Amino acid sequence: RMPEGKKLNKKMLSRLISRVPRAAQTARSGLRAYTTHEQLPDEHQMIYEMCRKFADEELAPNAGEWDKKHEYPAAAVSQLGQLGLMGISVEDKWGGAGLDYLAYAIAMEEVSRGCASTGVIMSVQNSLYGGPVDKFGTDAQKEEFLIPYTTGDKIGCFGLSEPGNGSDAGAASTTAVSDGDNFILNGTKAWITNAHDASTAIVFATTDKDLKHKGISAFIVPTDSPGFSLGAKEDKLGICASSTGNLIMEDVSVPASNMLGEPGMGFKIAMMTLDAGRIGIAGQALGIASASIDCAANYALERKAFGAPISKLQMIQDKLAKMALARDSARLLTWRAAMLKDSGKSYTKEAAMAKLAASEAATMCAHQAIQVLGGMGYVSDMPAERHYRDARITEIYEGTSEVQHLVIAGNLLKEYQ
């Protein structure tokens, strides 16, 4: 704020400039920012091309069937592991590919473009499970709970949401009581992706409800622990090939050495993990948006009405333009968030913006793709209806759009204070 009556001088100007959002400082620190696939460095280009090819050849031809049968794509998931896509940003020594989040975001978009269910399985494994174990795990924990997961041999899941609280993550009611050597966990987690295929779950439980969110700790819980069971597989609108269900813990005992990070650090771990997860989900949403655009554009060029392909009609062109604009904008936001994370900078606001923009782009593009296809968009002969159903969840999980708005506003306002 400028003191009244004073004219703008050099000192005040520099103080104002220091309030410029950190993203603009990227250029000065010498960081190159990539905005198109052609600008990407060699490895990222190769990863983009490999994932695209893999998605075209192995995922897209089967996605419809997996969706219809609600069939877990085991063979595809195994291939993801072999390709190194299940531990993209984990260090080589823990079995990962040692790449960055930009590579991950690009890979997520291409894989999801082929099959959104396979995409979410990959995202949960990389960001929600692998992320916290990699960042907060001890070497012993990484040995047991990271290495077999980066290869895709085993699947992990993230247990934060409960029947009583989704957005209200701080109100966790799953409890963890210490008996000296072990923690006894009781409670239920809801809406857990990969629930029915996971060997290990990261479970957030409170050791002291009075401390509210500061009493929450993170635990590594093998799913074959006595007392651990799964609720029925949810019958979802979309991403039907991935399993979603409740994790039920009745006096599940885990050794104290299975606590991830420090006591009371759970909420912070969850929030930091979700920041990264949002880039993954933004990638998934971009894939769904891109698949929708591909479907609509190809159809419009073939389908004739009024004597010409419908791609000649302005109302169709208007839709395609809006779809491309939404998708490209969201992609730039996603790459920005990834590049900020990769350079070690704060990226919470940017990741929220990316996820919000990409998920809204996915639902809009899928919606309009059906519209472009007309009646053909409403039947399962074309993938548009599957994209429509797959897109919807991206505005809900890993932070509803409403929560993303709060995160963005909160971080924005901090810059003015």
Partner 1 sequence: MRVLVGVKRVVDYAVKVRVAADKKAVDLSNVKMSMNPFCEIAVEEAVRLKESKAATEVVAVSIGPKQAQETIRTALAMGADRGIHVQTDLRTDQELDSKAVASILSKICADESPDCVILGKQSIDGDFGCTGSMLASLMSVPQCTFAANIDFEKKTVERETDAGTEVVAFPSLPAVFTADLRLNEPRYATLPNIMKAKKKKIATLSASDLGVDLSSGNEVLEVFEPPDREAGVFVETVDELVGKLKDEAGVI
Residues forming the active site: 398
Q: How far is the CB of 285 from partner 1 (least distance, A)?
A: 22
Q: Is 118 or 243 the residue whose CB approaches partner 1 more closely?
A: 118
- The string of DSSP codes covering 59-115 is IHHHHHHHHHHT---HHHHHHHHHHTTTSTTS-GGGTS----HHHHHHHHHHHHHH-
Residues 200, 156 contacting (CB under 8 angstroms): yes
Residue 69 vs residues 233, 264, 268, 389: alpha-carbon distances, Å: 13, 42, 38, 15
For partner 1, which stretch binds (CB under 8 A), given 11-19, 76-84, 229-237, 381-389?
76-84
CA distance 328 to 332: 6
Number of H helices, E strands in the chain: 14, 10
Rounded Cα distance between 299 and 292, Å, is 11
Minimum Å gap between C-beta 42 and partner 1 is 6
The answer to whether the beta carbons of residues 371 and 319 sit under 8 Å apart is: yes
User: From the CB of 76, what's the least distance to partner 1, in Å?
Assistant: 12
Reported in sequence order, the residue ranges of 256-297 that DSSP labels E, i.e. its strands, are: 259-260
Tell me if 336 sits within 8 A of 12, measured CB to CB.
no
Nearer residue to partner 1 within complex by CB, 125 or 368: 125
Q: How far apart are CB 103 and partner 1 at their closest, in Å?
A: 8
Distance, in Å, from the CA atom of 370 to the CA atom of 388, rounded to the nearest integer, reads: 8
* Mask for 285-324, x = binds partner 1 (CB under 8 A): ----------------------------------------
Q: Is 102 one of the binding residues for partner 1 (CB under 8 A)?
A: no
Name the segment binding partner 1 (CB under 8 A); options: 77-85, 111-119, 156-164, 315-323: 77-85
Q: Considering beta carbons, is residue 106 or 259 the nearer one to partner 1?
A: 106
Count CB neighbours of 267 within 10 A: 22
Which burial class, exposed, middle or buried, applies to 265 when counting CB atoms under 10 A from its CB (0-12, 13-18, 19+)?
middle
Residues 189 to 218: which contact partner 1 by CB under 8 A?
Answer: none
- In the complex with partner 1, the residue whose CB is nearer, 92 or 302, is 92
The CB-of-381 to partner 1 minimum distance in angstroms stands at: 23
Chosen residue from 71, 92, 139, 251 binding partner 1 by CB under 8 A: 92
CB of 282 to partner 1, least distance (A): 20
- Please identify, using beta-carbon distances, which residue of 90 and 218 lies nearer to partner 1: 90
Is there binding between residue 84 and partner 1 (CB under 8 A)? yes
**By C-beta, is 104 or 219 nearer to partner 1?**
104
Q: In the range 5-64, which residues lie near partner 1 by CB under 8 A?
A: 42-43, 45-47, 49-50, 53-54
Residues 6+ away with beta carbon under 8 Å from 312: none
Residue 99 binding partner 1, by CB under 8 A: yes
Binding site for partner 1 (CB under 8 A): 42-43, 45-47, 49-50, 53-54, 79, 82-85, 88, 92, 97-99, 103
